[in-house]
Structure 1
Amino acid sequence: MRYGPDPNAIYPNEAIKSLCYIKNIITRPNIMVGDYTYYDDDQGPEKFEDHVTHHYEFLGDKLIIGKFCAIAKGIEFVMNGANHRMSSVTTYPFNIMGNGWEIAMPSLADLPFKGETVVGNDIWIGQNVTVMPGVHIGDGAVIAANTVVVKDVPPYHIAGGNPGKLIKKRFNDDLINYLLDLKWWDWPAKKLFRNLDVLCSSDLERIKTVKDF
């Protein structure tokens, strides 16, 4: 018996070629994505890496995305390579223009470095969202369409706007803490399949009745 789509397939549903599991089309070693996380784009979801910009291996920063995330078209993850030197008179990147200007090459220590960009598990990111370098988005968060995420988003919060701001919590603190401990995204496929009705129920208290099968 099958207990859901193959997490190692490019298209979980062969009838919907606008949606693919990101993990299975990644070629860059500095992008890591968990099982079942998908990108939906009718212009070619296989081009997800084109939406991770200014990402240079010599900087060493990583984009880390968890499991069961839903990412809509128009996403852009801006990585640390987009940063310019801020400690000098001008921010202009003379060095990349060449023709003698390469003598103005900044040292890595002169460039702002925000660290890894981390997207947790079970996160919904709406259309045309931009995520800036070093941002951490917590498990269960929702990012509204057209948001520019410039600061960390706590677990199970909704954020929106430009610049992105917290709008509200999705659940009360007790349920948020329960879900963070539960980590349903780490369940094996069979347990997940047997509890789909609970995970998709509007009766939030049902999540506390989950049983192992």
Structure 2
Amino acid sequence: MIEIHPSAKISDLCDIEDSTRGTRIIIGENCVVDSFVKIKPAGGNGDVVIGSSSYINSGCVLYSGSGITIGNNVLIAANCTLAPVNHDFRDPDRLIREQGFLPSKGGIRVENDVWIGANSVILDGAYLREGCIIGAGSIVRGEVPSYAIMGGNPLKILGSRK
């Protein structure tokens, strides 16, 4: 089920796939979803919920997996991937694509007023607390404190907004 608030601006060049398994995709009021954004129910039955006044820039890919919750006033720069899902690969005698998925690490949670820099990858179990900034090109798979400025790989605190 896809629910888009009437005030949201969704590019005609955005691709939002409807789920065949009941996954909900909810886009809140005054959101902007730019060209070439892909929102795809895949790898689980979690919902994708985007709060109000958030902006998803061009080239981003969001897989539903174990679920994505994005708060209000979140900025996601170009070419980011949010993937709350992990393929199982433990049986070397079977193709990876035939092994299904590993148990959830809790999905992805992004609180209010977060900025995710271009080309970042946010993985299952990531929890981005209010006001944090994720530097361009980062990989996030755990908790980021409120108002922290994070960057680099491995991810490290570069400063604080407070």
Answer yes or no: same fold by TM over 0.5: yes
On the 8 A contact 1:21/1:35 being kept in 2, the answer is no
* 2:158 is the counterpart of 1:159: no
Q: What is the CA–CA distance in structure 2 between the aligned matches of 1:67 and 1:38, rounded to whole Å?
A: 9
In structure 2, the residue matched to 1:120 is 111
Deviations 1:30-82 (A, max 9, x none): 100001100122x6xxxx4xx124x44xxxx21000000111111011222x2
Give % identity: 28
How much has 1:91 moved relative to structure 2?
5.0
Cα drift, residue 134 of structure 1 = 1.2
Preserved contact between residue 87 and residue 96 of structure 2 (Cα < 8 Å): no
Aligned with 2:71 (options 53, 66, 69): 66
Deviation at residue 92 of structure 1 after TM alignment: 4.0
Specify the structure having the higher radius of gyration (Cα): 1
Cα RMSD over matched residues? 3.1
Counting only pairs closer than 5 Å after superposition, residues 103-114 of structure 1 correspond to structure 2 as 105=99, 111-114=102-105
Say whether the 8 Å CA contact 1:7–1:35 is kept in structure 2. Answer: no
Choose between structure 1 and 2: higher helix proportion.
Answer: 1
- Whether contact under 8 Å (2:39, 2:62) holds in the other structure is no
| Structure 1 residues 26 and 8, CA gap change in structure 2 (3 angstroms) | farther
Matches of 1:97 and 1:149 in 2, distance apart? 24
TM-score of the superposition, structure 1-length normalised? 0.52
Is residue 2:48 matched to residue 1:31? yes
The answer to whether the 8 Å contact 1:151/1:164 transfers is no
Q: How does 1:82-93 map to 2 (within 5 A)?
A: 82-85=86-89, 90-92=90-92
Q: Which runs of 5+ in 1 are unaligned?
A: 1-5, 13-19, 99-104, 172-213
Higher strand share: 2
Match of 1:133 in 2: 124
- What TM-score, normalized by structure 2, do the two folds share? 0.67
Runs ≥4 residues deviating over 2 A:
25-29, 82-85, 90-93, 95-98
SS of corresponding position for 1:94: coil
CA distance in 2, matches of 1:166, 1:93: 41
What is the aligned partner in structure 2 of residue 9 from structure 1? 8
